Amino acid sequence: MLSSAFLRPTPALRWPLLWLLLGLLCAAGPPQHDSATAQPGPAAGNAPASLSAPARRAYADLLKLRVEPARALLQAELQRAPTSAGTLLVADCIDFTELMILQNAGRYEAAVAAQDRRLAALEKSAERGPLRDYALAEIRLHQAAAQVTYQHEMQGAWSLRQAYQQLQGVVKRYPDFLPARKTLGMCQFMIGSLPAGYHWFLNLLGLPGSVEAGVKNLRLAAEKPNDFQPEARIILALVQETYYKQGEETARLVQQLATQQPDNLLYSYLLISLNKRLHRTDAALAAYRRRPTGAGYLPVAYLHHMAADLLLYQGQYAASERANQQFLREYQGVHYRKDAAFKLYLAAWLSGNAGAAEQYRQQIKAGSRTVVEEDAYAQRFFEEKQPLNSTLTRARLQIDGGYYRPALNTLRGFAGSKLLRDQLEEPYRRARAYHGLGRLDSARLYYTRTIALAGQAPYYFGPQSALQMGYLCQADGQLNMARLYFQKALDSPKHEYKNSTDAKAKVALAGLPAAKVR
């Protein structure tokens, strides 16, 4: 299921595989070699290699995030063929999606126990062939993600290692079975995008990653018909948008999918999130207001958190406040609570309500975990106790929303600051605004100014400027300069968004041709 991926938009689905990999230090076993290079495997015989018609219909409903209708559609099939690999896999996808999106810790034990029962049934089953082997690996990967998300890191680490090795085996035995390519490709890409400091133990543990192999496998699964082709298309598109700056192509695909299936909440979700990341606030809000609602759909509280951001970009502070309050009322998880409190603080502070702003600022402290970068940023704001600059903050929100000319007008009111953070943020915001307007010479000027001023300062403005300069140089064919800037981003000291910045820089470096040795 798509939710076993690193799929960025959803809060429950954004956990990078890095979480799992960190726990593997204590779960090492004999290393395995990457078997993604296909070798002819044994024939599957009469074993099914695709989902049954009822399972396929249930899976289609699940992709719309209609969990209960999907479960009802599958019920008769579970009674007819309770040990069928396809039926057990779709049943697990349903439970896993519900667990990860709702983020209800009270469901965790029952969900993992059900996964154990499905795995045991598959192990004992007389069914053989690619679908059965793939189901074993995919359910194990679901279990790994659930275990790590709910703070059972060691169990999750071991489950990930098992799933990865099983996927390698499926691809080796059945090279034409495309669903396994989809999941293995996703894992290969995410592991391959990790910074170089992790490579030694990834190799030790038999978890070889490769950006190139991952994209190749994803593309195979995305371009040829198979039961899980929609997932592969979406994952590949998000990889291309996030790491290869192919936002327009991804936007066209997601818009096409959402138009074809206006009753699909997942596609609406992707459309909202993608437009938000592409700084198209008006389009994102329009998609949010058009999203399908009603009985049968899984409640996705994070939609309201995204809407709160979008309204904040527009300066609709009261509406933003209401949306984040709705998110906090409905959301059952522990992540993004600090971020929501920070955004509530911004809405109150920028609207001049100092009393409410202080109450929201104190709520940042109440949130429990700081695993996701947004929560870590909010916690750092709370702990440093340095006042934000209202001019720079308004400009930042306008730029995030794609309102570049208003942001430049706002920045004209910046009166200077003694704080190093503000001195770095001002040229960085100008660079981002000019970049958004396509005025690239001005953007380069302010990016390089930010880099020069930043030095080894522990803020993200310098590393992000280096990353953007790398992209600009790459687009201009200045590959040696691009390489230097991407490396500079990687070499930066710890900052608020180092994990995501490093991953992007590493993928960008991997995509450059090898430097010529003179």
**pLDDT in the model for residue 367:** 64
Give the residue among 107, 7, 10 at the shortest CA–CA distance from 335: 10
Q: What is the pLDDT of residues 111-147, one digit of tens each?
A: 999 999 999 999 999 999 999 999 999 999 999 999 9
Expressed in percent and rounded to 5, the helix, strand and coil fractions of the chain are 70, 0, 30
Lowest mean pLDDT among 41-45, 120-124, 229-233, 437-441: 41-45
Alpha-carbon distance of 352 to 481, in angstroms, equals: 45
Alpha-carbon distance of 354 to 107, in angstroms, equals: 39
**Residue 108 pLDDT more than 60?**
yes
Q: What is the pLDDT of residues 190-209, one digit of tens each?
A: 888 776 666 655 666 667 77
Query: Which one has a higher pLDDT value, 210 or 31?
Result: 210
Lowest mean pLDDT among 146-150, 389-393, 477-481: 146-150
Find all residues with CB under 8 Å of 412, minimum gap 6, and list them. Answer: none
Alpha-carbon distance of 74 to 239, in angstroms, equals: 31
CB atoms within 10 A of CB 179: 27
How far does the chain reach from its first CA to its final CA, in angstroms?
48
Which pTM value belongs to this model? 0.86
**Residue 454 pLDDT more than 90?**
yes
| 500 confidence band (pLDDT: 50, 70, 90) | confident
| 496 confidence band (pLDDT: 50, 70, 90) | confident
**pLDDT in the model for residue 30:** 29
CA of residue 380 relative to chain centroid, distance: 22
Highest mean pLDDT among 206-220, 236-250, 326-340, 486-500: 326-340
Query: Which one has a higher pLDDT value, 190 or 326?
Result: 326
Question: What is the number of residues in the chain?
Answer: 518
Which residue type does 264 have? N
**Residue 180 pLDDT more than 60?**
yes
Q: What is the pLDDT of residues 343-374, one digit of tens each?
A: 999 999 999 999 999 999 999 998 667 778 89
> Using the 8-state DSSP alphabet, how is residue 389 labeled?
P
The beta-carbon contacts of 323-328 under 8 Å, at least 24 apart in sequence, are: 326/301, 327/301, 327/302
**pLDDT in the model for residue 32:** 35
| 161 confidence band (pLDDT: 50, 70, 90) | confident
Query: Which one has a higher pLDDT value, 393 or 385?
Result: 393
Structure tokens at 291: 């999203």
Average pLDDT of every residue of the chain: 87
Give the residue among 389, 394, 424 at the shortest CA–CA distance from 407: 394
**pLDDT in the model for residue 192:** 81
Structure tokens at 141: 């990967």
Q: What is the pLDDT of residues 290-319, one digit of tens each?
A: 999 999 999 999 999 999 999 999 999 999
**pLDDT in the model for residue 204:** 60
Alpha-carbon distance of 501 to 396, in angstroms, equals: 18
3-state secondary structure of 261: coil
Give the residue among 15, 35, 21, 33 at the shortest CA–CA distance from 201: 21
- Mean of pLDDT values over 403-416: 97
Alpha-carbon distance of 60 to 345, in angstroms, equals: 40
Which ranges in 174-210 belong to alpha helices (H)? 178-192, 199-204
**pLDDT in the model for residue 20:** 35
- Mean of pLDDT values over 154-159: 82
Is residue 247 left, alpha or beta, with left meaning phi > 0 and alpha meaning psi from -120 to 50?
alpha
**Residue 187 pLDDT more than 80?**
yes
**pLDDT in the model for residue 195:** 64
